[in-house]
Every structure is written in structure tokens, then in C-alpha cells.
Amino acid sequence: MPQKRKTVRAAHWKRSTTIAQEKYETISRAILSILASKGMRWGDLVDRVQARVPKFQGAVHWYTTVCLRELETQGKVKRDLGPPVLYSKKSKSKKSKRRTTK
């Protein structure tokens, strides 16, 4: 039986890509459970995702980046353009003073 695939897109990518649905769900759940409204650096986020899914089959840093872009596109995560660049859950009430991606 063929593996289910998830199409992943980002605002500034020329093409979308596909990844295994199961891997997308695993990494996305980890990202959303780790992030809070306070920003976090990418490297710190990757370290925490790695700790959350220690037996993950694949490059956690690559899947974290891909899933972050899709979550940004869905409006669930925001990226503050630093320096440093910080990732956080999208808040509905407060507006950040930092520049963010659209």
C-alpha cells in the first residue's frame, strides 16, 4: 500500500514539496506542543523537537524547517524576523513589535 503524502508549501518557495503524512504529523505536533507565545530560536526548537521524538527516522532539522514553513502558511506559527529570527505560536490578541513574515 502506498504511503500517504502531505503537500507542503511556503510563501516564498517556487514549488511545493511532499513528505510522508506520518512524519509531517509527528514533527508538527512536536513543534506546536513546544512553541509558546514567546519566541524561540530555530536551533533551540530543533533541539527540543529532537528530544521529543528521539526515534524519528529522518533528519529532524530538515523536517522541522519544512513543517515550520507549512505551519506558517496555515497561520499557526509566526516567524519574527530578528535578529535573531524567532518562532512562536500565532497569537490572536497581541501584535508583535517585531517584523514578521506574511
What tens digit of pLDDT does each residue of 38-54 get? 899 999 999 999 999 99
pTM for the complete prediction?
0.81
Angle, alpha carbons 76-23-42 (nearest 5°): 50
> How far apart (Å, rounded) are the C-alpha atoms in residues 17 and 10?
9
Crossing angle of helices 42-52/21-34, nearest 10°? 120
Catalogue all structural domains in the chain, each as residue range(s) with its CATH number. Answer: 5-89 (1.10.10.10)
Q: For residue 89, list its beta bridge partners.
A: 77
Closest C-alpha to 72, from 7, 8, 1: 8
> How far apart (Å, rounded) are the C-alpha atoms in residues 75 and 100?
12
What tens digit of pLDDT does each residue of 62-83 get? 999 999 999 998 999 999 988 8
